[in-house]
Structure 1
């Protein structure tokens, strides 16, 4: 029998909403909170952060404390710590994007747009979080800054998931309540799923991209990782320069789910399937409508990529063309370098066919899904052991493809998506359930996901 988790968040992770309540009541001081945050970070895995922003954070914390004393807070979340995947520009520092080859670049002259919006709301920037080099892997390994270790499980160290590896581990360890990442093929939802926390990615254009280091201008999306969905929703409002607000959970009986029977369950572990089906049974008992069937777009995407390649490839190659054809390429993670160079085999026609077909499939899928929520496991497996992936390049590429498969469909079809924890396997590694809707239906998705999160939490307990 597969053991399932109890509770909706991990033991160490902390809710931003709960923290905001304590700040408002005066039982928590912004300065003491930031000092404690840095102390916890220094005693934790050194591979989680690439750089700490102590001087800036303490200055912001003192300003937040003064505002609270004067009753003049910038927002409900004034004083909440936040950390950024190291592809967001922070004024005065070089944005590394998980690489050492960019260290000679000029420092950023201003914060990224989302960092600006968070600062205007009084949130305190703690530091920059580790990631796969140039965000080009779903496993989270980094030979330059080290690989953050998944805090869960028994036995050997497990991968954090990527590319937002530091984001997932920082939140799961309770070091920060909010971490902001990017998602080009699953890079928010994978580390959220593998670390037993919540991850939300918007569809294209939902979050401001200014001041972010790209991987694929077409597929890049953004969003928060947190202990619970309410924290993610609040963060999404802040990142867009809006006041913290919370949608109401959608009545569970109004929800309609579509579960694909093709592709997404291939090579899935028993625990992943068992926990997924247990979650579905809980939904059905609550009165939701569940339909199962073939998602034809999945098969078409598979056929398209088999014949013409992946869209992210030529875009990444274009972005890094000068670098990968220079002497500095020798300093890159060889696995990332190989993936970028592989796109050189694609023709101009391949790229045009991929772009044209993607547009057609997005519209076709939008029409077929309607207001249904597509539902399946975030990843088909729990986090695998780290060491074999460091040693075996062929295994690395095979596992990377498997980990990226399920969430990657959402990027290609421009979905918004939420990954929710829904259990653990026999080794205490988290499993996760992924809810997605067509782009532009973020409000509907988040209202539904709030209801599902509550229901799954009750079922687990």
Structure 2
């Protein structure tokens, strides 16, 4: 493991007894009503297992609890991806590389988390296992966002220090924004997909949710096995872009208000904020008109399973996977080439900017009842799903990196501010996010 950013300063001394107490508290939270339906399996003996590991407190995660999205292989367990059609599959014999790296860093896996079936939704609804409620509103059960729904709830509720998940079109940043936590999507090539069930091999990114940007830096260093270089660049020396095209359309009033307040705070700190058109975003609809990478690449993986067990799929997931059956080889190759040309155009327009600023999603979390499973709610589900994925999916098509940080006022439903850029701008983006997070927290009186 490379030299990692220090994180153990938040842990009180006390050796294995303190570690066991911390893990017992985490498991207790995971088993509570706050995390209802967030975990599909729970390792109730996690504290005992971790306390017996020699030298665990010298490791970067020092035994801290980690939740694992049901997309990743964990030795001795079945990887079902939130579905029932794989429930009788053989348990895996090894950990996925992401899980192995978290364990090697001292992390304690406390359980597998719920998700949108096969990671094909930004809403977080699951008809097989139920939908975990967003902890941000105890009064009204609201969606957690997806597809990494249980991972988000586990972190937001305090059961997990790191929620391991994946991001293909926004599946880390969407739930982070809706639940009021931090979600970092790194440049896809920096983290290994080995042992993760695929949705789109082109767009899938292994990444995580945490409760702070500092913890996101640590999680990325572990998952990517690399050192993040932080320049500590002051906000007064930074230049941001706000993309007008699409990203600001149809914002709910609470999101618009929080986003405008965040921009004002950054400007007050001396940052330069420019509005730019970024008209290339309009072209994504044409580029992906045949169905996009997720449809064709997921169908390639699922086609035999659909033939034998298709009736067991969530109908909302199955219909989108089956769209890939009609995509021709030449259309797929055209898509690959069009994306490469589009990336070059966008990267040229972003030259000179430290980050682009956008609302992560255009809405606060709607009630689960509006989009719960049922044909009578399909129209509402697909409308909400498209809105949630609208801004975040731009970054996946860009092969870029992005982070969502909370920017809402205390006592209001969570709103996420997304900072994003092109490929391999990860370190600079994390550096910027640290500074922005601190300034936004100070403005909220935290």
Q: Check if 1:135 corresponds to 2:119.
A: yes
- 1:184 corresponds in structure 2 to 168
Are the aligned partners of 1:22 and 1:28 in contact in 2 as well (CA < 8 Å)? no
- 1:53 corresponds in structure 2 to 43
Q: Which secondary structure does the structure 1 equivalent of 2:393 belong to?
A: helix
Q: 2:283 aligns with which of 294, 300, 309?
A: 300
- 2:346 corresponds in structure 1 to 365
Counterpart CA distance in 1 for 2:136 and 2:387 is 21
Q: Which secondary structure does the structure 1 equivalent of 2:408 belong to?
A: strand
Call closer, same or farther: CA 1:355–1:242 in 2, change over 3 Å: closer
Paired residues for 1:89-168 under 5 Å: 89-153=73-137, 155-168=139-152
Counterpart CA distance in 2 for 1:216 and 1:366 is 22
Corresponding pairs, count: 436
Q: 2:415 aligns with which of 431, 451, 458?
A: 431
Unaligned residue ranges in structure 1 (runs of 5+)? 1-15
Q: Which secondary structure does the structure 2 equivalent of 1:199 belong to?
A: strand
Are the aligned partners of 2:404 and 2:417 in contact in 1 as well (CA < 8 Å)? yes
Paired residues for 1:279-318 under 5 Å: 279-305=262-288, 307-318=289-300
Moved more, 26-35 or 391-400: 26-35
Counterpart CA distance in 2 for 1:268 and 1:247 is 33
TM-score (norm 2): 0.93
Moved more, 151-160 or 265-274: 151-160
Q: Deviations over 1:167-200 (max 9, x none)?
A: 1111111111211110000000000000000000
Are the aligned partners of 1:133 and 1:142 in contact in 2 as well (CA < 8 Å)? yes
- 1:169 corresponds in structure 2 to 153
Counterpart CA distance in 1 for 2:348 and 2:17 is 49
> What RMSD in Å do the two structures reach over aligned CA positions?
2.1
Q: Check if 1:263 corresponds to 2:246.
A: yes
Q: Deviations over 1:185-242 (max 9, x none)?
A: 0000000000000000111211111111110000001211111110111111122345
Q: Say which structure, 1 or 2, has more relative contact order (CA 8 Å, 6+ apart).
A: 1
Are the aligned partners of 2:7 and 2:218 in contact in 1 as well (CA < 8 Å)? no
Q: 1:399 aligns with which of 384, 389, 402?
A: 384
Are the aligned partners of 1:250 and 1:450 in contact in 2 as well (CA < 8 Å)? no
Unaligned residue ranges in structure 2 (runs of 5+)? none
- 1:323 corresponds in structure 2 to 305
- 1:413 corresponds in structure 2 to 398
TM-score (norm 1): 0.90
Call closer, same or farther: CA 1:241–1:174 in 2, change over 3 Å: same
Q: Which secondary structure does the structure 1 equivalent of 2:124 belong to?
A: coil
